[in-house]
Structure 1
Amino acid sequence: MTQLEDAPTITAASSFDLRDGRLHRTVEVGGLIGRSSYPMADPTGDDLGDWWRAFLQGRTLSNEARLGTVRGLDLFCGPGGLALGFSQACAEMGFDFVSEAAIDDDAGAVDVYATNHGTKRRISASVRSLIDFQVRGMGEKAKFLYDPEIVDDVAAELVDNVDVVLAGPPCQGHSNLNNHTRRTDRRNELYLTVPAFAIATGASMVVIENVPAVVHDRQQVVATTKALLESAGYTVTLGRAFADRLGWPQTRQRFFLLARRDSAPAEIEAVGEALQSEQRDLWWAIEDLEDEAIDGRLVVEAGYSDENRRRIDWLFDNGEHNLPPSERPECHQEGTTYNAVYGRLYQDKPAPTITTGFMTPGRGRYIHPTRRRTLTPHEAARLQGFPDSYDFHPHPEKVSAKSQLGKWIGDAVPMPLGYVAGLSVLGGDAAWKPADPS
């Protein structure tokens, strides 16, 4: 058992037990203990690796506990990466996750989400257009001028029918890769729609993810959101989660704001530390996809210019992983801070952050370690934690475009990050309990 320094009343632990042809896992966070198992005919001795591989392969998780239903609303939902991790946490702890609504202005992403999560209400619209609210002040002085009100008829059905609001507001305005409007981008204010929806629907839990740089926003959206939720009776915790420290083969990190109305969520950094594991490398996730046949769906050919094809060849012909300045575009030859672009991935290290540019050599270190190409959408989806059964083509008569796949997969939240956030908010200093446990 690990005692958490930041929240001395909250403990977190994880253990495995292989018996009867199943890998059993016990997870404890605060007052909540989950016991679940996967069928395991081919254990490797790497318990957590075997557990996540069973998840990626779509094996059926068993949990005899039935603690009730968690009804979810996902704002800025994308294809459902955050919900994927959160629902896995629910399943392991004995809850059934029910997707009440998914909202995004990308109709295709909403369809992907709903297809995979059985969502009851699909809303393809700007989140801001669905709710009426005004905020006065910033930071700890912020307050709503009046109670937020949902002004869309379909979204209004969510009032008193939501337990958790999940949200990933647009992060481009906060990203350190945005050198133009960083910290002042008007998209940053969309963060404030999340507490407005939480209060309007009466949700008892809130999970908001974003890039770590969100805390530097000049409009103080994190501090403002914290104040708005606390004034409505929520207890709020803030912190970062690191995918590679949770044993996942990607070095992505995200900043989380977690809130609960009935008690305090567990500190996500402390829970992550208690559940930390050795890193797994890129090859653990994608080795079996090395020569996967092109299918025109998740295994598609990326187009390369002659120059980029030459750069890829240079890396392999010279046994290198980094492209020297002499082989880069002229604008890079005098030096660049983006040293990983045009880079070849390492088999024995975690992947870097997967972004929407994973099929373009000049957008990051995305060249395959053993094949003269960039990652395929299938490989990138694996690295983001999407099971092989996840359907990115929700309309049988239409194949999703490469540009859509790149956006959906690259913008998604890696499953383990949503998972640890789910554990933190469901556990806390008292186990979350549904109003109606049936």
Structure 2
Amino acid sequence: MSDDPPNISAVDLFCGVGGLTHGLVRSGINVTAGVDLDPHCRYPFEANNSAPFLERDVKDLKAADLAPYLYEGQYSLLAGCAPCQPFSTYSQSGRSKKRGMDWRLVLNFGELVADLQPDLVTMENVVQLADHDVFSEFLKSLQGYSVGWTKVECTRLGIPQSRKRLVLLASKLGGHGLDLTPQFIQSPRTVRDEIGKLPQIAAGEQHSRDPLHIASSLSEINMKRIKASKPGGTWRDWDPELIASCHRKTTGSTYPSVYGRMEWDAPAPTITTQCFGYGNGRFGHPTQDRAISLREAAMLQTFPRNYKFLKRGEQVTFSRLGRLIGNAVPVRLGEAIGQCLSDHVRAHESGEARELESGIPEQLGRLF
């Protein structure tokens, strides 16, 4: 098979700041457009990726809106990650009204697949999605495709972060190579590997040459707490006067990782939208007395060190940037997906892809 990347054009739905897009591009796929409702995603998406950002609500999109972008190459790919909050274990409150709308976005994605009939489809989401009826409904939109899906532990892809995700791959070209397993041969990476060489900063400080390398301030009590914390430890290691009153209760005793430090030689925990806050999880720096910076969070999501999130002179807003970084698809995961799809198309072009019956198999086996 040729080592040249196949001519695949992709549209990234729910693109955010471009984590999935950037990974696909690094694998050789030509992303021709990203679509997202959030206007704050425009600058980071377009500043780091040679593709236009379409500020649109996916539920309002029609096939004709995407067709000019999707069919530029020899093969077409529709990709995306619908908002995962209804299914996530990190978002259990305030779900009832918004939940139905976000579920609907998964089905909107499926409707666009059914209308556009791209050669290839990939969807990334939280693993809990597979247990909901909406996932079965989405699969019905893939009639005529060979389909496979798996639950991915991101550390096995060389991502320095414990993060479980569902990845679905579908193709009209047959089923050969629709398997992420060959990508699971990366050497494990740790917090030290990813952020160990960044310059030191203090709590509340911003690095002079990298505005994203900024850490949130700590209150006096939280400074005492982080100084009493050891990498990989818990608040149970503290002196009693430092323990928060909520953790003295039975309901609070089951959250040992909050106010914790990361470990240098282990993966980070899941990077969430609140990763900039020391009290929001195990987001304390391994050795410096502060929470991780926004740049460190982005790098643990495998964004390149120089990925641009802010316009020149723009002020940092922790809540906004934390949300954009925490909600992103890790770049390395996008790259692995893109590599898998590129290998699949090469196999098809070389005649190795076997023909499979169209439609969804009665029993969808997970890829491994």
Structure 1 residues 432, 352: CA separation in 2 closer, same or farther (over 3 Å shift)?
farther
With the length of structure 1 as denominator, give the TM-score of the two structures: 0.70
Q: Equivalents in 2 of 1:428, 1:421: separation in Å?
A: 11
Give the Å deviation of 1:254.
Answer: 0.9
1:178 equivalent to 2:91? Answer yes
Match of 2:61 in 1: 130
1:72 equivalent to 2:10? Answer yes
Match of 1:222 in 2: 135
Give the Å deviation of 1:75.
Answer: 0.8
Tell me if structure 1 keeps the 8 A contact 2:2–2:346.
no
Tell me if structure 1 keeps the 8 A contact 2:18–2:45.
yes
- Corresponding letter in the other structure for 2:243: R
Give the Å deviation of 1:276.
Answer: 2.2
1:304 equivalent to 2:218? Answer yes
Structure 1 residues 125, 277: CA separation in 2 closer, same or farther (over 3 Å shift)?
closer
1:21-80 deviation line (CA, Å, top 9, x unaligned)? xxxxxxxxxxx564xxxxxxxxxxxxxxxxxxxxxxxxxxxxxx3x45321211111111
Tell me if structure 2 keeps the 8 A contact 1:74–1:166.
yes
- Corresponding letter in the other structure for 2:287: T
Secondary structure at 2:88 match in 1: coil
1:112 equivalent to 2:44? Answer yes
Match of 1:94 in 2: none
With the length of structure 2 as denominator, give the TM-score of the two structures: 0.82
Percentage of matched positions with identical amino acids:
28
Match of 2:185 in 1: 276
Q: Equivalents in 1 of 2:216, 2:305: separation in Å?
A: 20
Give the Å deviation of 1:175.
Answer: 0.5
Could you tell me which of 310, 333, 351 is aligned with 1:417? 333
1:337 equivalent to 2:249? Answer no
Secondary structure at 1:289 match in 2: coil
Tell me if structure 1 keeps the 8 A contact 2:11–2:34.
yes
Structure 1 residues 399, 223: CA separation in 2 closer, same or farther (over 3 Å shift)?
same
Tell me if structure 1 keeps the 8 A contact 2:159–2:301.
no
Q: Which moved more, 1:289-298 or 1:357-366?
A: 289-298
Structure 1 residues 392, 333: CA separation in 2 closer, same or farther (over 3 Å shift)?
same
1:291 equivalent to 2:200? Answer yes
Give the Å deviation of 1:159.
Answer: 5.9
Relative contact order: is structure 1 or structure 2 higher (C-alpha 8 Å, sep ≥ 6)?
2
Structure 1 residues 341, 182: CA separation in 2 closer, same or farther (over 3 Å shift)?
farther
Structure 1 residues 400, 102: CA separation in 2 closer, same or farther (over 3 Å shift)?
farther
Q: Equivalents in 1 of 2:179, 2:96: separation in Å?
A: 26
Q: Equivalents in 2 of 1:182, 1:211: separation in Å?
A: 18
- Corresponding letter in the other structure for 2:20: L
1:391 equivalent to 2:308? Answer yes
Large movers: runs of 4+ above 6 Å: none
Structure 1 residues 125, 331: CA separation in 2 closer, same or farther (over 3 Å shift)?
same
- Corresponding letter in the other structure for 2:156: R
- Corresponding letter in the other structure for 1:227: K
1:426 equivalent to 2:316? Answer no
Could you tell me which of 22, 28, 31 is aligned with 1:99? 31
Pairwise mapping of residues 185-200 of structure 1 onto structure 2 (< 5 A)?
Answer: 185-186=99-100, 187-200=102-115
Structure 1 residues 116, 216: CA separation in 2 closer, same or farther (over 3 Å shift)?
same
1:182-207 deviation line (CA, Å, top 9, x unaligned)? 89921122111222223333421111
Give the Å deviation of 1:88.
Answer: 2.0
Secondary structure at 2:148 match in 1: strand
Q: Equivalents in 1 of 2:79, 2:254: separation in Å?
A: 34
1:86 equivalent to 2:2? Answer no
Q: Which moved more, 1:327-336 or 1:341-350?
A: 327-336
- Corresponding letter in the other structure for 1:109: C
Q: Equivalents in 2 of 1:288, 1:199: separation in Å?
A: 47
Match of 2:289 in 1: 372
Structure 1 residues 389, 159: CA separation in 2 closer, same or farther (over 3 Å shift)?
closer
1:249 equivalent to 2:160? Answer yes
Match of 1:139 in 2: none
Could you tell me which of 219, 223, 236 is aligned with 2:147? 236
Q: Which structure has greater strand proportion? A: 1
Tell me if structure 2 keeps the 8 A contact 1:235–1:265.
no
Tell me if structure 2 keeps the 8 A contact 1:102–1:110.
no
Match of 2:265 in 1: 348
Secondary structure at 1:172 match in 2: coil
Tell me if structure 1 keeps the 8 A contact 2:178–2:340.
yes
Tell me if structure 1 keeps the 8 A contact 2:114–2:141.
no
Task: Calculate the aligned-residue CA RMSD, in Å.
Answer: 2.6
Give the Å deviation of 1:342.
Answer: 0.7
Secondary structure at 1:188 match in 2: helix
- Corresponding letter in the other structure for 1:85: G
Q: Equivalents in 2 of 1:216, 1:182: separation in Å?
A: 18
Give the Å deviation of 1:108.
Answer: 1.4
